[in-house]
Structure 1
Amino acid sequence: MITALDARVDALDPQEQTFVAIVREHGWHHMGVFEEDENPEFSYSTGFWLTHRHPEIIVFSLSQDVAGRVLWDIYRDLQKGRVFPVGVRLSNIFADIDAYLMPVGKQHYAEHIGWSRWFYGNDEFPCLQLVWPDKRGAFPWEAGRYEPPPALQPDLSPMGWIQALKS
């Protein structure tokens, strides 16, 4: 797999050089995107696919610090050989709440995971969205139960979370 790690250093701008250096040093990069207008802040990984053949992960509406720690924990688990199932309730990503990893449709890549697209040179890598529940344990697809506005965790799945849970 050819990635930005294969590029000549002098062909990269300073920001790209820093990005590549972080992936070389740590095996992955945490990109944080701050809230803007009506769009919530989010974080995503770049390098999980390269180093562990595990889909990249994007998570919305967590602070950059919390998201970074969660992504680091997932990365360390991947190093130990852990496998995370998709579309299944998971009790061991966060300390005290359940979560789901849901597929991300490629139609969302350009808007949300630009650095990963740059790093891999295309959209031929998988990505999962880490979805967390509200304070009562309800998930965004549980209509009438989920309290925060749905915009806090936009549905990036190819055909909707409900459809993803059925497949």
Structure 2
Amino acid sequence: MFDRLICQCPICAAYDEELDELDLDTVRRVERDGWAVIMVPEDEDGPGWAFTVGLWHTFRSPEAAMFGLDVEVMRRCLNTLADRVAAGHLMVDGQERDDVIRNYPVVTRAVDPSWYRSLFGVALRLYRRPPLSFMEVVWPDRAGLFPWDADATPRLRDLQPSLWLPRDDHPPGPWTKLP
């Protein structure tokens, strides 16, 4: 995969700093597998989410994030997507993909950087600086409609933020309440 002793990227260089156990575990998983999936479970404040760390480091691909499903389901979906990225099937903004969730397409959307600090702190700590980017992996309702479709299930919009919009332009909801 890569040799952290000769690599000078921010993730590898982070070994030289004091890291908490979560960060150390993440770096080890990136070193072993090429990426890690960070899971933030649902709580009283809102839906859960999950995101990758390491896709940029290992494959120069945007990181991926999913929202609103069970965190274990999102972990499996993101690992499936990361396997596809590792095989050369990179993510593109606005791309519909049928290789993430069985029997349902997803759409990848570029995340506006105004969301990074609220949602992807572990990645920011380890990378320490861009050029990393994130793609939101948006899933449809049971009818195959996405949050932006007029007839989509209204709850779908609460479960998944529209991160392609700048944070200040996003409709109020659980995602805009995050610090």
TM over 0.5: yes
Would you tell me which structure has more strand in proportion to its own residues?
2
Q: Which residue of 1 aligns with 2:111?
A: 104
Q: Distance in 2 between matches of 1:148 and 1:38?
A: 18
Partners of 1:129 and 1:72 lie apart in 2 by: 14
RCO (CA 8 Å, sep 6+): is it higher in 1 or 2? Answer: 1
Shift of 1:12: 2.2
Let me know the Cα RMSD of the aligned residues.
2.0
2:127 aligned to 120, 129, 152, which one? 120
Shift of 1:9: 4.9
Moved more, 7-16 or 79-88: 7-16
* Partner amino acid, structure 1, of 2:107: Y
Q: Tell me, in whole angstroms, the C-alpha distance in 2 between the residues paired with 1:116 and 1:50.
A: 11
Q: Which residue of 2 aligns with 1:68?
A: 75
The TM-score with structure 2 as length reference comes to 0.81
2:153 aligned with 1:147: yes
Q: How many residues get paired?
A: 160
**Pairing 1:17–2:28 present:** no
Candidates 122, 135, 139, aligned match of 2:142: 135
Taking a change above 3 Å as real, the CA distance of residues 11 and 84 of structure 1, as seen in their structure-2 partners, is closer
Q: Which of structure 1's runs of 4+ aligned residues deviate more than 6 A? A: none
One-letter amino acid matched to 2:41? F
Equivalent position to 1:92, from 82, 95, 99:
99
Unaligned runs of 5+ in 2: 1-7, 171-179
In structure 1, the residue matched to 2:47 is 40
> Where does structure 1 lack aligned partners over 5 or more consecutive residues?
162-167
Aligned residue in 2 for 1:78? 85
The amino acid across from 1:2 in the alignment is C
Match of 2:11 in 1: 4
Q: TM-score, normalised by structure 1?
A: 0.86
Letter in 2 for 1:108: W
Name which of structure 1's ranges 20-29 and 47-56 shifts more when overlaid on structure 2: 20-29
Q: Aligned residues: percent identity?
A: 26
2:23/2:122 contact within 8 Å kept: no
Q: Which amino acid aligns with 1:87?
A: G
- Asked if the contact 1:103–1:158 (Cα under 8 Å) also holds between the matched residues in 2, the reply is no
